[in-house]
Amino acid sequence: MIRSAPSPESQVSVESVRELLGRGLLDLVFAAAQVHREHHDPKRVQCSQLLSIKTGGCPEDCKYCSQSAHYSTPVEREPLLDPEQVMQAAREAKAKGADRFCMGAAWREVKAGPDFDAVLAMVRGVKSLGLETCATLGMLDGHQAERLKEAGLDYYNHNLDTGRSYYSEVISTRSYDDRLRTLAAVREAGMKVCCGGILGLGEGRSDRAELLYELAKMDPPPESVPINELVKVEGTPLAGAGELDWSEVLRCVAAARILMPTSVIRLSAGRRELSEEAQALCFLAGANSIFMGEELLTTPNPAPESDAALMGKLGLLPVGEESR
């Protein structure tokens, strides 16, 4: 029986995370499921809907991304949507059962001006519908974080993407410490932090341990931890990345649950590549959030009907839905 997983109070070390990730898979899943049941209602799944509010043409060179201007991908550039279009999408998402609405912009960083003012209006509008609000807009400074908080932003998503040692293989235009500075500004402004990474970028298990270590040692850890599996996009340098076995995703979900017992762990991009069975094991091991809806930002997500069927089979309920 696994009892020696690092407790949140104890100092987590990268070695202890490597050891955790390398445990027998079923022992790891069993231990994570126990932690999950101590801290969460295992029937409930938080459901976020994404919308790309400004698409493509991004100056960053993230090697996985359909929206980077450095690569030729099938994604067409689109200017910032207007707040009424965003409100309409948010109303539809709410009607379909989402409890949080997340707005993503292909920006390197937020700049003061009419576009940022429009984003603040979007946040106010979505919040007024009674949805939780989340945005991912690139780097922020402290003042911008405060303005987002004042507008009613609940969560800011900014991912570390991978471990510190592998990071420079994936992105060269912004540093790991830049990301940590943005996360500190979000925290300082009193917003909740949504921060995770991507699996399947060609990294090894040790790099995944470094990522989980960086997340778990934040004080406090992120309230929301998205675990994305790479969605391969034609034209990006990582379009031909090797397949990641489902069991590695499961290991990361289980380890994240043990290392961050009270955080919500989101089985994020890449669910189309996971079988129902693999997703079921991830929910058992502590995943308790998903992106719902046909589309993520620029790539497809599982069809709502197939998600509803899976939730039904597993006895899972969206957080916004009355219990049956």
**Among all residues, which ones are annotated catalytic?**
58, 62, 65, 102, 134, 194, 266
Query: How far is 101 from 140, CA to CA, in rounded Å?
Result: 20
Pick what 68 binds: ligand DTB, ligand SF4, ligand SAM, none; C-beta below 5 to 8 Å, kind-dependent: ligand SF4
55 contributes a contact to ligand SF4 by CB under 6 A = no
- Binding residues for ligand SF4, rule CB under 6 A, total 9
Binding residues among 224-263 for ligand DTB as defined by CB under 6 A: 226, 228, 231
Give whole-number Cα distances, 196 to 95, 162, 203, 273, 291, in Å: 28, 8, 15, 19, 14
The answer to the question of residue 16 lying near ligand SF4 (CB under 6 A) is no
Cα(75)–Cα(298) distance, integer angstroms: 7
DSSP class of residue 58?
Answer: B
| Structure-token match 């976020």, residue found | 48
User: Residue 62 Cβ, how far from ligand SF4 at the closest point, in Å?
Assistant: 3
**Does residue 138 belong to the site contacting ligand SF4 (CB under 6 A)?**
yes
Whole-angstrom Cα distance, residue 240 to residue 36?
A: 35
- Which listed option, ligand SF4, ligand DTB, ligand SAM, none, makes contact with residue 260 (CB within 5 to 8 Å by class)? none
Each as own residue / partner, the long-range contacts of residues 71-74 (CB below 8 Å, 24 or more positions apart, any chain) are: 71/235, 71/236, 71/237, 72/235, 73/233, 73/234, 73/235, 73/236, 74/233, 74/234, 74/235
> What does 16 interact with, of ligand SAM, ligand DTB, ligand SF4, none (CB < 5 to 8 A by kind)?
none
Which of ligand DTB, ligand SAM, ligand SF4, none sits in contact with 230, Cβ below 5 to 8 A by type? ligand SAM
Among 46, 159, 182, 224, binds ligand DTB (CB under 6 A): 159
Considering only 114-122, 175-183, 211-219, 223-231, which stretch makes contact with ligand DTB by CB under 6 A?
223-231
Q: Please tell me the distance from the alpha carbon of residue 153 to that of residue 259, in angstroms, as a whole number.
A: 26
Segment interacting with ligand DTB, rule: CB under 6 A, options 82-90, 275-283, 295-303, 308-316: 295-303
Strand partners, 225: 265
Of residues 60 and 99, the one with the C-beta less far from ligand SF4: 60
For position 226 contacting ligand SF4 by CB under 6 A, the verdict is no
The C-alpha atoms of residue 285 and residue 264 are separated, in whole angstroms, by 12
CB of 65 to ligand DTB, least distance (A): 7
* 254 contacts 31 by C-beta, under 8 angstroms: yes
147: left (phi over 0), alpha (psi -120 to 50) or beta: alpha
Q: Give whichever of 206 and 299 is closer to ligand SAM, judged by the CB atom.
A: 299
- Contact set for ligand DTB, span 76-95 (CB under 6 A): none
Chain contacts with ligand SF4 (rule: CB under 6 A): 58, 60, 62, 65, 67-68, 106, 108, 138
